[in-house]
Every structure is written in structure tokens, then in C-alpha cells.
Amino acid sequence: MKLAPFESSIAERYHEETKYSTDSLRREAAAAIPMDWTRQPVPFKRYEGQRVLLPTAGLPLVRRGLLGAEDDASGPGVMDFGRLGRILWNTNGCTRIVQMVGTVQHFRAAPSAGAMYPTEIYVATHGVPGIADGVHDYQVLDHSLARVRDTDATTALATACFHHPAFQTAQAVVLLTAEWQRSAWRYRERSYRRALLDTGHVLGNLVEAAPTEGFVAFPVGCFRDELVERVLDIDPADEGPLAVVPLVAADEAASIPELPLRAGGTTEWHRAVAAVGDRVPKDEPRRLAAALHLASRLDGDAPSVQDAERVKLPVAEGAVAIDAGSAPTLWTSVQPVTTTIAERRSTRSFRPAELPRGALFRALAHAYPDDVRALFVPGILKTFVVAMNVVGMPPGTYAYDPVARTVNELSRGRHAAAMAHLGLGQEIFIHAGAAVIHTVDLTRAVERLGDHVYRLLGLDAGQIGERLNLALLREGLGVSGCGGYYDDEMNRVLGIPEIQAVLYITAVGHPAE
């Protein structure tokens, strides 16, 4: 894709510079320094000092060999430390511990590229029984809260979020950040993409899990970065805030309006990189992630804008829409979504078998939330389905309309072999029945909302991907997300419009095991 007219924008330039091609991967392999596995970043923070052990009752979790006592649940719509603990665990708690050669792997509720887990979870509490007001870090290893700040920060966070009305009654506010080095150690310059998608996965779990405890999560992506950084006492060159999420009682959530977005500016590529200065050594791959994040920060002068317009995609002449059906009810009170979160595993390989069309369409319908307040930039992302072995769908590329819940044929073609190549030869594309691809017209998005929109797009793609992931697993299928692929070649081979930048791919099929 050629850059115009915003080729000086660091968001567009970053995406262009981090695209994969056969030549770029060959150059990267020739210049790469072998990874020192003994220096792999620790995927969680450790805090000394005061902490609150959260109850483990009701969770498939054993701590020190004992199950925690039942918490004394408060009335409906009132947060307590039992409810908060369950929400946090389902957001990204430790679901499995595996002893590996020379290390122990702590698997989480949300998927992460290469198990790097760049996302850190904090929670600001106000009037939660059993937990002192303040800011806490969620400690994955022992399912506890470690004190970061011992003063109530909810007012400061409301100010940072341009006085979003969800803060008026929220007793708990979840904050999601990313430590750049955790992903950069493995994925180098492309790591910012991975960190956004991974944090989007975590956010997707939070949005899904909160209602099981009687709350609605309100993701806020437009905030005054410096104020949030001050609350968390973090350096954005090392760890940047990505989402602030008030948890509101379900019976109060309907009255909270969908607010307009905030637009940031654009920064020239080289100027943004130079602005990092000595904060990150020049030879560290996380330098680009830090440069883009620092350049895309918002301040108090960020103007509000109306929602971005929806853009219709071209369809092949004579294409017939296939009704994807209404949004399904996949989970019940007997088997809530949290059961799927607890059992979730990424599928490593598939067996050759036809994919049921109904299950795929039900999952697509669930992937886009009915409540658009759950997304940062609704209507901007586009979704394509590459049908390779789907019942009732001729092999080819289809455009999915999340509003009408229909798919429209763009082009026909047997792309199974091509997808295996385009996905960098990863095993997940061998025998996959379909691939779901999320894209965006990045030029138009940056023109409207500035470099800041790049964060929001990656987070939305990750959240939609996680919702799709959970729905497909509930349908008994296998699924695996993919953030590594040949970018421009993907558009050419599959017939996706050139202006659409690929952000994320999900491989779908029947698990081989």
C-alpha cells in the first residue's frame, strides 16, 4: 500500500515499516541476534508490601493447596472483593501452570502471542468492602491485589477520561497497560501490534465476564495519558496505559450514553522516533513501540469528534448475500461464558473436515458486541471471511457485514494453500476450514482521529478476535489467532481492497486433537 497523503504520520509509517514480506523476513533473519532464552522478560510484575488475597471460591483455582473461603457477597449491583476477584481472574488470571525445561509457564485466561503476556492489570477501588481505597496491581501468581497507591484515584481517573459519566457510580475501575519489552523481546519492531492485540484479548474477556457478576464494563480509550501515567506511577517509554475501564452496575448501565471520540494529532515518523531520545536505547526494538505510543498520547486539548462513518465495501457483481442470522445466545446461567474462558486453549493444528456454516456465522454474530459502547471505534474495522472448507460456501473471499449480519461474496478461489503461505507457514493454517481477517482503511482513520486511532484499532481487533475465539470454542470448534502474516500479499492474493490494512487473522477448524 502506498502512503498518501499522511505518509508522515508515525501510525501509518509504523504499520508500513513493520509489514512482513519474504524480503523483509530474509533481511531480519540475516541481521537477527539469537534469542537468549535465559533473559526472557518476566511476564508479570511483583510488588512487595501490602496486598489483599482475593477469594478463590467459585474459581477452578488452587492457591497453596487450599480453596479460599466463600466471600460474603453484597447486594445486587454492589462490588465486593469476591466479585472483583472473579472478574479479574476471568479477565486474565492464571488458568494453568506447566513445568517446562528450565522454567515454569503460567498460562492465562486470555491468549497472548508467543505467551509473552505484555498486558498488566491494575484496579482502582472506591468503597469496595474488604479492599482499601486506592490503586492495586493484580498479582497473577497468587490471585491477589498489591497496593500501588493508597489514596482514592477514581476522581483523578474521571478527570483523565474527560469526565466520562461511567465514573460517577463505579466502585472499581480496571486499567490495562502494556510493557513494551515483553513483546519486543520476541517480536521486535512489530511488537506494538502484538501488544495491542493481546491487550484487546484481555479487554474482550473483561467485557464478557463482568455481566456474569452483575456489572457492565465501559472501555475508555480516549484519556489524558499523562494523568493516568501519574496515577499508576509508570514511564510510558517502558509501560503505557491503553484502556481505562469503569465497572458499572448492570441496572445503571443503560443510562450511560455513547460518547464521541477524541481526536489526536499526527507526528512525523522520524521526529517521533527522535523524541524518544535516551529514554530507550537505540538498539532496542521496543524503541519504535515507545515512539508510536508517546506520539499518540492525548492531552486536555484533544477535541471531540462524531463517530466515524461506516464504509461499504465493494462486492462482486451478482454476489448473493447469505443471511448470517441473528445474534445467538451461546451461554446460559448453567454454563456461563466464564466456563469457556477457564477452559480456553489455542488450537495448534486442525484436521481436514468441513466447517459447519451455522457455527461460523453464529460466532461472527457474537464477535461484534450488540452494545457498541464496548468498542472504541465502532464501524471502522472491516471483516473478511476466507472460506476454504465450509459447508454451503463456495471457496473464496467474503465480506462480512456485522450490522446486517450477512456475508457477501467478493471473489472465488481455492485459497487453502495460499493461506498456509500467507500465514508464514504456520501449522494452524493447514487444514483450517476458514480464516477470519480484520482490516482497516488506516489512511482514512488517521486523517479523522490522528495517530491515537492506531491504538484503538488494535485493541478493537483484539477484543473482536477474543469474542470470536470464545464463541467458536463454545461451538465445539478449534481456533487460533495470528498476528504474523505477509501483509500486502494477503490483499493481492485474497482480493481484499488494497486500501484495507490487515490487522489480525483468526484460523478456524476442527481440532486435530
- pLDDT per position as a tens digit, 328-357: 789 988 899 999 999 999 999 999 999 999
Residues 506 and 465: beta-carbon distance below 8 Å: yes
Confidence of residue 28 (pLDDT cuts 50, 70, 90): confident
- pLDDT per residue over 173-210, tens digit each? 999 999 999 999 999 999 999 999 999 999 999 999 99
Q: What is the pLDDT of residue 481?
A: 96
Closest CA to 157 of 145, 137, 173: 173
Length in residues, the chain: 513
Residues 218 and 172: beta-carbon distance below 8 Å: no
Residue 268's contacts (CB-CB under 8 Å, 6 or more residues apart) are 8, 9, 10
The residues facing 400 across adjacent strands are 383, 407
Rounded Cα gap, residues 117 and 96, in angstroms: 14
Q: Which amino acid is at 385?
A: V
- Architecture of the domain made up of 39-257: 3-Layer(aba) Sandwich (3.40)
Buried-exposed string 225-243: b where 16+ CB fall within 10 A, e elsewhere: bebbbebbebebbebbbbb
- pLDDT per residue over 244-273, tens digit each? 999 999 999 999 988 889 999 999 988 999
Set of cell numbers at residue 401: 457485514
The CATH classification of domain 308-511, taken from the options 3.10.50.40, 3.30.720.110, 3.40.109.10, 1.20.120.10: 3.40.109.10
Q: What is the pLDDT of residue 317?
A: 55
Q: What is the pLDDT of residue 326?
A: 62
Q: What is the mean pLDDT of residues 46-53?
A: 88
DSSP symbol at 109: S
The sign of the torsion formed by the CA atoms of 157, 160, 164, 165 equals positive
Confidence of residue 68 (pLDDT cuts 50, 70, 90): very low
**Span of 217-221, 316-320, 408-412, 481-485 with lowest mean pLDDT:** 316-320
Q: Helices 10-17 and 286-295, interaxial angle, to 10°? A: 160
Set of cell numbers at residue 498: 488494497
Residue 389's contacts (CB-CB under 8 Å, 6 or more residues apart) are 352, 353, 354, 355, 395, 416, 431, 432, 433, 434, 509
State yes or no: pLDDT of 504 exceeds 60: yes
State yes or no: pLDDT of 296 exceeds 80: yes
Average per-residue pLDDT for the chain: 90
Set of cell numbers at residue 267: 507526528
What backbone phi and psi angles, to 5 degrees, belong to 339? -65, -40
Q: What is the pLDDT of residue 36?
A: 74
Residue 466's contacts (CB-CB under 8 Å, 6 or more residues apart) are 110, 111, 200, 201, 203, 204, 205, 208
Residue 65's Cβ-count burial label (10 Å; 0-12, 13-18, 19+) is exposed
Set of cell numbers at residue 380: 471502522
- pLDDT per residue over 359-371, tens digit each? 999 999 999 998 9
Confirm whether 39-257 and 308-511 share one CATH topology: yes
Other Cβ atoms less than 10 A from the Cβ of 406: the count is 17
Q: What is the pLDDT of residue 57?
A: 80
Answer with the residue of higher pLDDT: 492 or 98.
492
Q: What is the mean pLDDT of residues 432-445?
A: 96
Q: How many CA atoms lie within 13 A of 274 on its CB side?
A: 5
Residue 53's contacts (CB-CB under 8 Å, 6 or more residues apart) are 63, 68, 142, 143, 144
State yes or no: pLDDT of 457 exceeds 70: yes
Which sequence spans correspond to the domains of the chain? Answer: 39-257, 308-511
Confidence of residue 50 (pLDDT cuts 50, 70, 90): confident
What is the percent of the chain where pLDDT is above 70?
91
